[in-house]
Each structure stands twice: as C-alpha cells, then as structure tokens.
Structure 1
C-alpha cells in the first residue's frame, strides 16, 4: 500500500526548507534542487507543491506578511503611545524570532521580485500614523509630529534589523527598548 502524504504538511516542509535555503544562499543563487535537498525530498516533490522558485519566495513572504498582519491586528491596551510602544516591541520580537525570514526580506528588498513590499510598508505606516493621530488628538505628542513620522519609525526598526543581520554582535532583541525610547518617548509632549 502506498504511503499517504499530507499535501499541506509536505508543502509547509518544503516552504520551511526554501526559507532556510534562501536565507543561506540568497534567492538568486538558490535552485529548486537546493530546496529539495534541504527538505529531504525529490525535486519533483517540490514541483508538486509549487510551480517555481518565485512561488516559493512569494509563499515565504506571505508567511512573513501573515505574522506582520497579526501584529497589526492586535490592538493592545493603554494610550496610543503605549500601544505604539507595544507594537514596536512585538514587531522586533517577531523579526528576531524568525531570522531566516528576515534574511529573505533583505533579498526581497534587493532583488526584483513579484513581492509587493510597498503594501506591507503601507500597512505598517498606516497603523503607526493612526496611533500617532490618536496620540496627537489626546495631546500626548509634542508639536510638529505628523503621519510622516510613521515612515521614520518603520525605518528605525528596519535599520536595526539590517544591522543585526549584518553584524552578529548586534542583538535585535536588545534594541526594542532603545527604539521605543527614541521613536515613542522622543515624540511625547
């Protein structure tokens, strides 16, 4: 009797293997054969799960995006600035917990891929701008703080992410509180 394969579980294994391979070798240098070897399956098994390397990259990005959307959908409690600080901490923790996905993100930034990074940035900036607007309406912000500061906050998180990926002496987990101190407390009235 032939062995039954859980198609969804196999696809998840292949996707996890692809993320590890893309993180280690970069997307451009990775081949389907590399992903198959990492997953411990035949090359044909990869093609049963996905149609191309690009689809693997898109699926890996979709995993990251789902985590990001989960962070944004968790409203938290407290004032708008307290919720912004919590969002920053949760985002840094999520990125630190998934270093291979973070490395793949760098590859997505650098390569021409079918991934719409602008949409993810728009979601984060919108969520942060909304919190800044609420904090401003509550009188919590110093004068001159507006929605454009959302891009600066996203940039601070990503700048720390890049340093962490480039220099193993930098610990991303240790940077959440400094980001909060500058990007939240620095805006407070």
Structure 2
C-alpha cells in the first residue's frame, strides 16, 4: 500500500513540476528533461508516470477541468436565487484562478495545443460548453424567480463567461493585473446588470 501511495505522490509531484515549467517557459519550449530537473527526479521517472510531454499537458488539463467541474456543481446546488448563485460562480472561478496561477497560465498552451491537434485527450470546448450551460441555467432560474430583466437570453450566458475569461486572459498577458480583485466588477456589470430594475 505504501508503494502505491508513493507512486501517486510522485506522479503528483512531477505534474506540479510540469505545470510550473509550462507556466514559466511555455509548453512548446518545455522538454521532458526540464520537467525532470524541476521535479528533482531522473528523466526516466517522468516516463514511468507519463508517456510523453503531451500526456503531462493532458493531465494538467484534467486537473483544471476537475476543478472547473467542482465549481460548476457548487453553482448548481448552492444556496440563493439564480443571480446570487451566478455571482458565486463568478467569484469561485476567479478565486480558482488566483489560487492556482500557474495552472491558469497554461490555459493559453492548452488552447494552442488543441488548435494544433496536439494533446488530443483535451476537450477544451466541453469545459466552455459546460460553463455556458450552467450560466444559462442560472439565468433561467433567475427569470423564473422574477428577478431577471427582460430580453436576457443564451447569448448573455456566453457574454458572462467571456467576461471572466477575458479578464483571465488579460491577467495571463499582464500579471500585474490584480485578478483576485476583478470578481466584484464582473459581478457588478455582468450579473447585477441583468437584474430586473438594474442597469439596462
């Protein structure tokens, strides 16, 4: 049993090292040797846990997707009306990014690798579809509760997700941007702005 725990811990350590290296120098410029050096292990140890550099990126994506799914499930089952849960979703996504900055910074690599046909195990589109779906569900709930202004539709769900991701992308390009402080403005503009009696 101890050996299994050790192998799981080793895999996690190597994955964390890979995320740090990907965030620092980019996926395209990273070699397996770089990951091994960062983790303080032999190159062969990396290959015992991951078949390739692509497999490391896929594993990083899977971790990001799992965190995203947890945030989405919380929004679906959490307390409050539809707009309160949508505001909580926005805050949770921003908090997730702020808590895992290196993982968030490799999002650009994930997008690029997927467009180039690399790391085929990643379904980045599915993550965004799920974000849009839960946002649309929360807006539908808010409409049923009578708190949503007229004329709000599925397009608004894409805009809310786009506002979050746009802020994340700006922060990736310019790390001086205080990403942790942007949840409140996003909620103010993209959630409270949709409330009945709110800004049109």
- State the TM-score bracket (shorter-chain normalisation): over 0.9
TM-score normalised by the chain length of structure 1: 0.95
1:100 aligns with 2:102: yes
Aligned alpha-carbon RMSD (Å): 1.1
* TM-score normalized by the length of structure 2: 0.90
**Correspondence for 1:171 among 161, 175, 178:** 178
2:90 alignment counterpart: 88
Determine if the alignment matches structure 1 residue 180 to structure 2 residue 180. Answer: no
User: Within 1, Cα distance between the matches of 2:34 and 2:175?
Assistant: 25
1:110 Cα shift?
Answer: 2.4
d(CA) in 2 for partners of 1:152 and 1:52?
A: 36
Please list every run of 5 or more consecutive structure 1 residues that lacks an aligned counterpart in the other structure.
none
Q: Is the 8 A contact 1:133 1:147 kept in 2?
A: no
- Corresponding residue for 1:39? 39
Distance in 2, matches of 1:183 and 1:160, equals 13
Which residue matches 2:65?
65
Name the structure 2 match of 1:110. 112
Larger deviation, residues 78-87 vs 136-145: 136-145
Do the aligned residues in 2 keep the contact of 1:161 with 1:172 (CA within 8 Å)? yes
Deviations 1:52-103 (A, max 9, x none): 0111000001111111111011122111100100010011000111111111
Aligned residues: 186
